[in-house]
Chain A
Amino acid sequence: GQSLEQPSEVTAVEGAIVQINCTYQTSGFYGLSWYQQHDGGAPTFLSYNGLDGLEETGRFSSFLSRSDSYGYLLLQELQMKDSASYFCAVRLGGATNKLIFGTGTLLAVQP
């Protein structure tokens, strides 16, 4: 089977840094994506790691270690608008070219 594990909730204060971890066990692996979803809204793509290492996009960074089946999303200089759910998703690739999503981490940013 496929499994992705993320913490269910994380709380942080404005201006702080928060890390959301994702560990996975899947039948195939091409890369790890991250999505943000505000309450009741559509998920939006944040980042993708196809190779090991750190990818930086503004205040957000994402890291992947394939040997550890582990990745994380790092959010810096937290703002109230960052309060949302964050999902990691594994790209299976090959003939089954699809994403498998984790259950999501609800981030609450407090003033």
Chain B
Amino acid sequence: DGGITQSPKYLFRKEGQNVTLSCEQNLNHDAMYWYRQDPGQGLRLIYYSQIVNDFQKGDIAEGYSVSREKKESFPLTVTSAQKNPTAFYLCASSYRDSVYEQYFGPGTRLTVT
């Protein structure tokens, strides 16, 4: 079965710790994206990558970092510099020319206390 997996589903961390969220896809998509969703809000783009070894900042990149060493994987690190890291994080992927049709993973709910 093709799809996107994110792990873990729930993650708890103490303030001041970096944490890495996993995102893997086997859809053979070139492009991958990370979004943050806060309660009652839309999706805000953190980082995106259109090809391996390349990525661009989205609208709210401060306090986050990514890597894209493999086509299938796009991990997101939430650093201690992110002031309000508690949120629902969604990873998505698409064909490079079909950014309008993104496939989403189940999300990781991160709570930082």
Residues of A within 8 A of B (CB): 4, 30-31, 33, 41-45, 48, 50, 87, 89, 91, 93, 97-104
Sample (22) of A-B pairs whose CB atoms are under 8 Å apart: A30-B100, A33-B100, A41-B107, A43-B90, A45-B101, A45-B103, A89-B43, A89-B100, A91-B100, A93-B99, A97-B31, A97-B50, A98-B33, A98-B45, A99-B45, A99-B100, A99-B102, A100-B45, A101-B35, A103-B41, A104-B40, A104-B42
The verdict on A102 contacting B42 (CB below 8 Å), with A42-B90, A42-B107 known, is yes
Q: When the two chains form their complex, are residues B100 and A48 in contact, meaning their CB atoms are under 8 A apart?
A: yes
A-B pairs with beta carbons under 8 A, tally: 57
Which of B33, B92, B100 has the most A CB atoms < 10 Å from its CB? B100
- B99 close to A101 (CB less than 8 A): no
Q: A33-B100, A42-B107, A45-B101 are in contact. Are A101 and B44 (CB under 8 A)?
A: yes
Q: Which residues of B contact A (CB under 8 A)?
A: 31, 33, 35, 40-45, 48, 50, 58-59, 90, 92, 96, 99-107
Say which residue of A45, A91, A93, A101 sits within 8 Å of B43 (CB atoms): A101
Which B residues lie within 8 Å of A97 (CB)? 31, 50, 96, 99
Q: Which residues of A contact B101 (CB under 8 A)?
A: 33, 45, 48
Contact partners of A91 in chain B: CB under 8 A: 99-100
